[in-house]
Amino acid sequence: MQWDHEIIIVGGGMVGAALAARLGQAGISVGLVERGSAPKPASGDYDLRISSLNARSLAFVKASGAILPGERCCPFRHIDVANQDGTGHSVFSAEESGMNDFGIFIENRALQYALWQRLEELPSVTCYTQCAPLSTMAATTARMLELDNGKTLSARLIVGADGARSTLRELAGIGVTSHDYHQRAMIINVETELPQQDVSWQCFTPKGPIAMLPLPGQRASLVWYDSNEATKAREQLSDNALQHAIETTFPQRLGKLTRIVARASFPIKRQHAKRYIGKRLALIGDAPT
Ligand SMILES: Cc1cc2nc3c(=O)[nH]c(=O)nc-3n(C[C@H](O)[C@H](O)[C@H](O)COP(=O)(O)OP(=O)(O)OC[C@H]3O[C@@H](n4cnc5c(N)ncnc54)[C@H](O)[C@@H]3O)c2cc1C
């Protein structure tokens, strides 16, 4: 049987695009199905969705030939973890581990754009944008994927990389177990008087962790876990009031803030797929979580 592609990946976020680029780099025929449009380059203020790429993930991405925008990446060389009450404190140093750095912080959208740029150069990769799966069915030698644009594609393997609310997972009948922590994480991008340098720190409080992810220059991404009620109340604060709340709660090492750039909050929920694989199907990234 002849397939349309050896592998179809549903979801062109940073995980699906990274896999597509690595497979494409190896000359394997890949179809990438993405509900949205091709991503645009990151510019201006930093986006709220920031991820750490550890050294191994970074090597995986670089091996695909994708070129990351150095000016929007922040390498980190120390990880500092402490209890707020002073009962515990550990600092991990890349140098002591024989590494230049532990990895980088990068906006999801910047990573995704760099990967998609690479996909465009790879002849064995075809991107299908602005379409999503309607149904999928496994046959003996292939799995079929019916799309909402009228096309039906076939492949030896279909990979679901379509995020935490994975349609492919649902279509394949794979259930999830989940637990609501009744907490929210507020993400706040800030500008600071101090350069944030190369330390990523996290501080555990009785209400949940607070953390700082350094971004290039005098910028940082703050993460503030708290109860639903406290976070929702904090969301109503003016920038000035939020700035004051951060300066009085976060460790002094953050220094004074000069600007609240952006903020949003997300519910904290544990979710886990009952299976990661099905017949000619696999889930990766957030899809099985
Ligand atoms: C605020 C925030 C901060 C985070 N910080 C970190 C961090 O510091 N470190 C870290 O490791 N992780 C972090 N995460 C988690 C991280 O963002 C996710 O683990 C990561 O984005 C998962 O990537 P993904 O490609 O699997 O899914 P996604 O990024 O969700 O991408 C899914 C892709 O699939 C597409 N899609 C969805 N449905 C369909 C469909 N039906 N058909 C076709 N395409 C579809 C979407 O358009 C999207 O492009 C954070 C998450 C949030 C929300």
Here the CATH number for the domain that contains residue 202 is 3.30.9.10
Choose which residue among 184, 276, 286, 289 to substitute to test ligand 1 binding: the one with the highest number of ligand atoms within 8 A of its C-beta: 286
pLDDT, tens digit, 9 for 90 and up, residues 102-155: 999 999 999 999 999 999 999 999 999 999 999 999 988 999 999 999 999 999
- Atom 9 (ligand 1) nearest CA: 51
- Under 8 Å between Cβ of 215 and 50: yes
pLDDT, tens digit, 9 for 90 and up, residues 242-267: 999 999 999 888 999 999 999 999 99
The whole-angstrom separation of Cα 289 and Cα 112 is 20
* SS3 sequence of the chain: CCCCEEEEEECCCHHHHHHHHHHHHCCCCEEEEECCCCCCCCCCCCCCCEEEEEHHHHHHHHHCCCCCCHHHCEEECEEEEEECCCCCEEEEECHHHCCCCCEEEEEHHHHHHHHHHHHHHCCCEEEEECCCEEEEEECCCCEEEEECCCCEEEEEEEEECCCCCCHHHHHCCCCEEEEEEEEEEEEEEEEECCCCCCEEEEEEECCEEEEEEEECCCEEEEEEEEEHHHHHHHHCCCHHHHHHHHHHHCCHHHCCEEEEEEEEEEEEEEEEECCCEECCEEECCCCCC
Choose which residue among 22, 60, 108 to substitute to test ligand 1 binding: the one with the highest number of ligand atoms within 8 A of its C-beta: 108
CB-based burial label for 13 (10 Å; 0-12, 13-18, 19+): buried
Measured in Å, residue 281 CA sits from the centre of ligand 1 at 19
Q: Give me the domain span that covers residue 249.
A: 181-269
The whole-angstrom separation of Cα 84 and Cα 86 is 5
* 198 and 256 share one domain: yes
Using pLDDT thresholds of 50, 70 and 90, give the confidence band for residue 289. confident
Atom of ligand 1 nearest to the CA of 287: 26
- Average of per-residue pLDDT across 211-235: 96
* 218 and 108 share one domain: no
146: in domain: yes
99: in domain: no
Model confidence, pTM: 0.94
- Atom 15 (ligand 1) nearest CA: 51
Mean pLDDT over the full length of the chain: 95
Atom of ligand 1 nearest to the CA of 166: 38
Atom of ligand 1 nearest to the CA of 187: 1
Measured in Å, residue 254 CA sits from the centre of ligand 1 at 28
Residue with tokens 């976020």: 13
- Angle at CA 36, nearest 5°, toward 154 and 10? 30
* 26 and 110 share one domain: yes
- Angle at CA 195, nearest 5°, toward 243 and 74? 105
**pLDDT score, position 252:** 87
For residue 110, list its beta bridge partners.
none
* 124 and 138 share one domain: yes
Here the CATH number for the domain that contains residue 33 is 3.50.50.60
- Ligand 1 contacts (CB < 6 A) are 10-16, 33-36, 48-52, 108, 132-133, 161-163, 167, 187, 266, 285-286
* 44 and 127 share one domain: yes
Structurally, the chain folds into a number of domains equal to: 2
81: in domain: no
* 18 and 148 share one domain: yes
137: in domain: yes
* 218 and 169 share one domain: no
- Atom 28 (ligand 1) nearest CA: 163
Measured in Å, residue 88 CA sits from the centre of ligand 1 at 32
